[in-house]
Structure 1
Amino acid sequence: MKCLFWNVNKKESINQILADVIEENNLDLLALAEYKDSENELLSELITRGIDFYYIPQLNCDRIHLFCRFKPGEIKPFQETNYYTTKGIPHIKLGYLTFVFVHLSSKLHNNDADELLEYSRTLKIDIEDIEKDVGSDRTIVVGDFNMNPFEKGMLGATGLHAFPTKFEARKHSRTIKEKNYKMFYNPMWSFLGDLTTPYGTYHYNASGYFQTYWHLFDQVLFRPSLLDHVDVKNVKILTEVKGKTLVNIKKIPSVSDHLPIFFEIK
């Protein structure tokens, strides 16, 4: 299953690029944040290319838009808020997987670490409730978290508890002061630093004493039960689509202020 998430920054004429993304990467699932173009026009463009895709409507979460090869009747709706939506989506080998698509509050409006940790804690509780209801922890969380992998809300045990290596994530959980905390695997850590390009999915030159310039706000997390079906080499930040660059001469995102992330579940 080939999937892509992209915060498209409210661009009103982006459907041609999205159709190129879907076609070039043979996507099964496309999740968008801040999408303002026409759903029907995108689907029509895909039909002209011989690609059958469907729009999956949301009830309470207008921050996320979903397009996929699966008919709406094949998608199971779960918990939904304004900041995230959860769906059961069929995988050809693994059966139904639980996808959690997120677009959490922007740091431009709220940069309080404790508040961001609270968002993550609430999300974590909802995810675990869904996993209990469906009887499976084959869960993927993907989207714009507006946090870096090393921040409390992403790494902390009371948050999403997402670790950078499969070695640690295979432990499935940690016990802290007699309480058990489930883990996620976060392959996006691999994009931090000079060994890979681009250096993140979002670039921001802010004033202040703490500055990284590049951020990995856009991430995908996997439960340990899916580790054997995920190859970190197939987790990518895209900078080009059909020869069209998505970055400027300084390698900073230009089509949107975010770059898309691609991942595959075998």
Structure 2
Amino acid sequence: MLDDDYFSAFKLKLNNDEFLLLFSVHLPSRTRMDKSQINAHASVVADGIKKATANHNTTKSIIIGDFNMNPFDDGMTLVTGFNAVMCPNIAKKIRRTYLKKDYDFYYNPMWDIMGKSSSNVKGTYYYTNTMESLYWNTFDQVLFSGSLLSDIIINEIKVIDHLGDTSLTTALSNKPNFKVYSDHLPISISYKEEIL
């Protein structure tokens, strides 16, 4: 439907003659840009997504991909960025007005996944070459517009560290096995309705 340098958009038909917009994103790598530059890119991409949803007159959208930001980074939380919140009840308000402009809320369930004690992995990307003591980052995320929250199976959103019997992490450290697979771990979501 639409391709940009940092995102692609797809119009997906639901089984009740409605549709949703699915945006796949891949923002610049943090190895080539600093946080402030990626935050600036986030604002541009978020604005492009805002225009696409307005052109299709819908509030139903999902944004998924490699944001190269954590859920708490400015590009994710700023109203002029993705306006993504950790609380579904806030996202259900659909939008907020800031400086006389409307901005759609997005719910970011990845806050709940970060550092979860019941999981072997604590994020989607492991990195140690910064002054920050994060180590585990959650760069791969999914955001839902507030109008979709009743259609998403929230407790089935997860970081994938196994495909069947195959581990995507190293045996000793549970870090992503980048030499064999990828330096990022994938995520999965479940949607209650059939998507055609």
TM-score scaled by structure 2?
Answer: 0.89
> Structure 1 residues 94, 195: CA separation in 2 closer, same or farther (over 3 Å shift)?
farther
Aligned to 2:29: 106
Contact map agreement 2:6 2:45 (CA 8 A) in 1: no
Distance 1:181 1:162 in 2: 10
Query: Does structure 1 residue 206 correspond to structure 2 residue 136?
Result: no
Offset, 1:211? 2.5
> Structure 1 residues 175, 82: CA separation in 2 closer, same or farther (over 3 Å shift)?
closer
Distance 1:152 1:196 in 2: 28
1:161-190 residue CA offsets vs partner (Å, 9 max, x unmatched): 101121111122223344332210001111
Aligned-CA RMSD value: 1.5
> Structure 1 residues 234, 152: CA separation in 2 closer, same or farther (over 3 Å shift)?
same
Offset, 1:225? 0.7
Q: State, as a whole percentage, how many aligned pairs show the same letter.
A: 31
Distance 2:94 2:53 in 1: 14
Offset, 1:117? 2.0
Correspondent of 2:44 among 116, 122, 136:
122
Instruction: Report the residue type matching 2:183 in the other structure.
Output: D
Query: Does structure 1 residue 251 correspond to structure 2 residue 174?
Result: yes
Q: Partner of 2:63: helix, strand, or coil?
A: strand
Aligned to 2:18: 95
Aligned to 1:82: 5
Distance 2:99 2:53 in 1: 24
Distance 1:93 1:236 in 2: 27
Structure 1 segment 229-248 matched on structure 2, within 5 A: 229-248=151-170
Correspondent of 1:265 among 165, 174, 191:
191
Distance 1:229 1:158 in 2: 26
1:63-101 residue CA offsets vs partner (Å, 9 max, x unmatched): xxxxxxxxxxxxxx13x1122111112233463210110
- How many residue pairs match? The answer is 187
> Structure 1 residues 138, 92: CA separation in 2 closer, same or farther (over 3 Å shift)?
same
User: Unpaired segments of 5 or more residues in structure 2?
Assistant: none
Structure 1 segment 64-83 matched on structure 2, within 5 A: 77-78=1-2, 80-83=3-6
Distance 1:205 1:235 in 2: 26
Contact map agreement 2:43 2:82 (CA 8 A) in 1: yes
If each structure's helix is expressed as a fraction of its own residues, which one has the higher value? 1
Offset, 1:194? 4.1
Which structure has the larger Rg? 1
Instruction: Report the residue type matching 1:83 in the other structure.
Output: Y
Q: Partner of 2:11: helix, strand, or coil?
A: strand
Distance 2:133 2:173 in 1: 18
Contact map agreement 2:7 2:25 (CA 8 A) in 1: yes
TM-score scaled by structure 1?
Answer: 0.67
